Structure 1
């Protein structure tokens, strides 16, 4: 009976099946190196320590998969087990040696991680793009290889068009995949950043974010339909003041000025966001 890596993975990655004919050998940890195609850049240290504790008690139950390279072996599947074995003080680890091409190794690393949901959204997007570029695949071909729909692939690839600062929020989990998908559809990068800040500060749900995007689109559409009286350029001083207030209050600010008087509008996007602004304003008054 073959040893399976996980539900559904055997069908997607037959190369990782360990059959009766495969020989399990003990390989010194110092002869192993990480997979250069590993898309996961961050490993949960708490998870590694938990696995290390289990390994100390039960040993490494499932062999890792490796291939031979110029100096020793390269890990194809099982880097968490390798890291946990290091943490538990083991000298060797059980492994099965397979003959695999670079393309197979890259595909395996991607599929194994994506299927186990070990990657954050940006890591998945970068990994998808890397395999498309490296092996000249279409989105349709990639969707077949990883067992996902073409729309799933397309949605992740769109995240690569986000400004770098927003990508960092997605990588850290500050912004969810659902929020990022809504924001990536906004054309203006400045508006993207405004919405991101407001979303994080106000702790919006995806629905609240989508409603705000829709509201802004409707306002923009109304503005286009209004007859243009004069295309006035905003006073540079007022523009600078708006930006300073936006940085301070971390929300959208509009200064409406006419004939030496006007008003300042601060946007809020939830009850919590309103309370945050009121606290800031009251703190400055007292």
Structure 2
């Protein structure tokens, strides 16, 4: 019995049902529905898909796969689509790159025809299945499906067999400063670290904190505490600033009322924009004067 992939139910099984899906160690992870029609094509006539979500290929892993291809050949054919004068890779760019390193002149392919949306979905699903995409590449692929093909997040989640929350959290990474995104790509900080930084709106501060995480080897929990402290201090400083502004306004009002009633006036501010006004008097005669003054204003 073929070993099932972990939750790709409606992914490649729908988009390429007749393709044998194997990982690079030759472990079957999709059931064969029917044998695909393969043919050999010169490697020079094949080009990668420029819209392929994956942009980074680890050199050591490619060399390892290249050595395997030299010994055993390409076990799983590339999936390609015929273009004007060449064949474009839909699935299997990593195998193609490794085959070139191995010095192969021809590679086995299955020629298919898909829409642009299906090509992007297949590339995305294949890479997610093998965990080949870095978190930023994955997020950018989701963004493209939304912007270019008007897919909703729950539709994307269904296609790649992930939860809607996972897709949403992935897209949130694109709110990070470009320099911080690159640190995620370079594996200097984890996605857990990166998500804690999203609440920091100042890009320079965000980048500074990302470097601090890397330099001090902070855990995600330590980073959360650091961010909480920074945001709390920011709120406190904002409150102090607002209070200082209010103090200036209240002092100005106190002075104006003092000039009207002719005695010391104090405004005591409370929470929720409430407070009280205190008017001092130093004799019964002064109290009667203030009373008469207030009555005259009322009338």
Aligned partner of 1:122 in structure 2 is 136
TM value normalised by structure 2: 0.71
Structure 1 unaligned spans of 5+ = 232-286
Match of 2:102 in 1: 88
SS in 2 for 1:118: coil
Q: CA deviation digits over 1:213-266, x for unaligned, max 9?
A: 1122233333344474479xxxxxxxxxxxxxxxxxxxxxxxxxxxxxxxxxxx
Cα distance between partner residues in 2 of 1:4 and 1:41 = 29
Change (3 A) 1:105 1:230: closer
1:55 aligned residue? 69
User: Secondary structure in 1 aligned to 2:182?
Assistant: helix
What's the offset of the Cα at 1:179? 0.6
> Aligned pair 1:157/2:186, yes or no?
no
Q: Please give the alpha-carbon distance, in whole angstroms, between the structure 1 residues aligned to 2:34 and 2:238.
A: 70
Matched, 1:201 2:215: yes
- CA distance in 2 between partners of 1:219 and 1:22 (Å): 62
1:113 corresponds, among 127, 148, 155, to: 127
Secondary structure of 1:130 counterpart: helix
Aligned residues: 230
Name the Cα RMSD after superposition.
2.3
Structure number with bigger Rg? 2
> Does structure 1 retain, via aligned residues, the 8 Å contact 2:10–2:158?
no
2:8–2:161 Cα contact (<8 Å) kept: no
Is 2:42 aligned against 1:28?
yes
Give the Cα separation in 1 of the matches to 2:86 and 2:233.
63
Q: What is the CA–CA distance in structure 2 between the aligned matches of 1:49 and 1:136, rounded to whole Å?
A: 38
* Contact preservation (8 Å) 1:24, 1:94: yes
TM-score by length of 1: 0.74
1:5 Cα deviation (Å)? 9.8
